[in-house]
Amino acid sequence: MKRLHIHISVEDLGKSIQFYTALFGKEPTKRKEDYAQWLVDDPAVNMAISSGRAKKGLNHLGLQVDSDEAVQEIEARLQAAGVLGEKQQEAVCCYAKSNKYWVQDPQAVIWENYHTMEQAETFGGDSFTGGIGCCEPTFSTNGQWSTERCC
């Protein structure tokens, strides 16, 4: 199954949990002091919210898939279309361990394409983010990926 992933940075986690619980008609699948996630089947969405970031609103979008092969297929399609990104192996981010392929669309929206292998007890701190936690990478004007907008 593929799920659309939406991650929003919020000011008030409690109020946002109340809103998204009402919207989806179910309690969060995962809840931490700085993070909440809903895995919804109809529509197939992985909705995540987190607090503690300077910029509020849309953090990034993505596709969550069931296998590393599916991530590789997405990566191959994007590369064939000339869209280059950043591969990330065994990243610990958002209380999960995942293999990822990050890209940026023409409007500068960040897309995280990933397969989650297992849950984690920490928010983040993988090598891609420089050990400072989960964040969205940015594609700079010089054509290189950067993590300047990390939390």
28-59 pLDDT, tens per residue?
A: 999 999 999 999 999 999 999 999 888 899 98
108: which residues sit within 8 A by CB, 6+ positions away? 138, 139
Look at residue 142 in the predicted model and tell me its pLDDT: 52
Percentage of the residues of the chain whose pLDDT score is greater than 90: 60
Q: From CA 12, how far away is CA 50, in angstroms rounded?
A: 9
Domain ranges in the chain are: 3-146
Per-residue pLDDT of the chain (151 residues; tens, 9 = 90+): 899 999 999 999 999 999 999 999 999 999 999 999 999 999 999 999 999 888 899 988 999 999 999 999 999 999 999 999 999 888 877 788 899 999 999 988 889 999 988 887 777 754 333 334 455 555 555 555 554 444 3
The verdict on pTM exceeding 0.85 is no
The CATH number of domain 3-146, selected from 3.10.180.10, 3.40.50.300, 1.20.1260.10, 3.30.2350.10: 3.10.180.10
